Structure 1
Amino acid sequence: MTNFRIGFGYDMHRLTEGRELWMGGIKLDFEKGLQGHSDADVLIHTICDALLGAANLRDIGFHFPDTSEEFSGVDSKVLLERTVALLRKKGFEIGNVDATICAEVPKMNPHIPQMQQKLSEVMGVNIDSISIKATTSEKMGFVGRQEGITAYAVALIYKF
């Protein structure tokens, strides 16, 4: 009997001057970056939460608290690698991830194939198992005012 589980993740970070913009494990050329304790890669944080939620392992803040110096400025790919290790320790494998980035700027679509490649490498899954989409908020709310970026993800995990 196969055990399938689905998890959902959501995250948001403020755009700010003086920071690099990391999204999906790659650095984007943009004049602002996302504010956060780590590199603030909102897409990876969202995927971590979706995976952790599916495995009933709480959330990213529980495992990698923003009060810990160990995670200050950390590359979010490290958090994703550790998340995948937690899942596999519990006997789960990743079926697929479906994520959406919501940003007015910069345009995300040109970078999606590179993000998919990087995430597939970090997670040890086929690139076809990672779907990333991009949208805007039609100039509404804090994303529409170019104050921040949000991301959403669902993940399917399984064990036999």
Structure 2
Amino acid sequence: MNIRIGQGVDFHQLVEGRDLWLGGVKVPHIKGALGHSDADVLLHAICDALLGAAALGDIGMHFPDTSSEFKDIDSKILLKRTCALITKEGYRIGNIDASLCLQAPKIKPYVAQMQEVIAGIAGITIKDISIKATTTEKLGFVGREEGVVAYASALLFPL
């Protein structure tokens, strides 16, 4: 059996005047992530973990920020396309483990909804998705609320 594991990481600057999308859920906050797409740092890290596990490169290779096709795109579409690439390569997702690193807002009230969104796109159960959050205890750019970081790991099994 050829089990594959991948990891992903993504960073985005936080700015006023943008919506904050995390895990496919719009989270109320005074700042949002800046990016070419909707800048959903969590979904981007998950896409990179999945692509990495299948040795298919990274999110920038498949959905470049230089392409107008992906300008302001909903990252749920990127995850859906990533899952299709994984399936085409002969794999299915076993589980996803992700961590968000941000000072504010608290995301615990939104985790179940994020799990539902991701599970629905990825074709797995919410029990196969772990989403955690931590702060940096006010240290660094995350602690100053200048940015947000997400880390993700994914396990793939052959179809």
Aligned to 2:30: 31
In structure 2, the residue matched to 1:107 is 106
SS in structure 2 at match of 1:146: coil
- 1:110, distance to aligned residue in structure 2 (A): 1.4
Q: Following the alignment from structure 2 to structure 1, what is the Cα–Cα distance between the partners of residues 28 and 108?
A: 14
CA apart distance, 1:74: 0.1
Alignment correspondent of 2:129: 130
Over 6 Å off, 4+ runs = none
Give the match for residue 154 of structure 1: 153
Other-structure match for 1:18: 17
Corresponding residue for residue 54 of structure 1:
53
Aligned to 2:94: 95
- Counterpart CA distance in 2 for 1:107 and 1:66 is 29
List runs of 5+ in structure 1 lacking aligned partners.
none
Q: Which moved more, 1:46-55 or 1:123-132?
A: 123-132
Distance in 2 separating the partners of 1:107 and 1:17: 17
Separation of aligned partners in 1, 2:21 and 2:122 = 17
2:117 — aligned with what?
118
> Distance between the aligned counterparts of 1:109 and 1:152, measured in 2?
17
Distance 2:19 2:95 in 1: 28
Q: Structure 1: how far apart are the matches of 2:35 and 2:127?
A: 30
Question: Could you say what secondary structure the match of 1:107 adopts?
Answer: coil
Which amino acid is 1:134 matched to? Answer: A
Q: 1:76-124 CA deviation, whole Å, 9 max, x = no partner? A: 0000000000000010000000000000011111111110011101111
Structure 2 equivalent of residue 65 of structure 1: 64
Query: Equivalents in 2 of 1:114, 1:68: separation in Å?
Result: 30
User: Identity over the aligned pairs, expressed in percent?
Assistant: 59
Q: Deviations over 1:57-82 (max 9, x none)?
A: 00000000000000000000000000
Residues 106-148 of structure 1 show CA distances to partners (whole Å, capped at 9, x for unaligned) of 1111111110011101111111110000100111110001101
| SS at 2:3 equivalent | strand
Q: How many pairs align?
A: 159
* Deviation of 1:46 (Å): 0.2
Unaligned runs of 5+ in 2: none
Distance 2:123 2:5 in 1: 19
1:30 offset after TM fit, Å?
1.0
With structure 1 as the length reference, what TM-score do the two structures score?
Answer: 0.98
**2:85 equivalent in structure 1:** 86
Structure-1 separation of matches of 2:97 and 2:107: 15
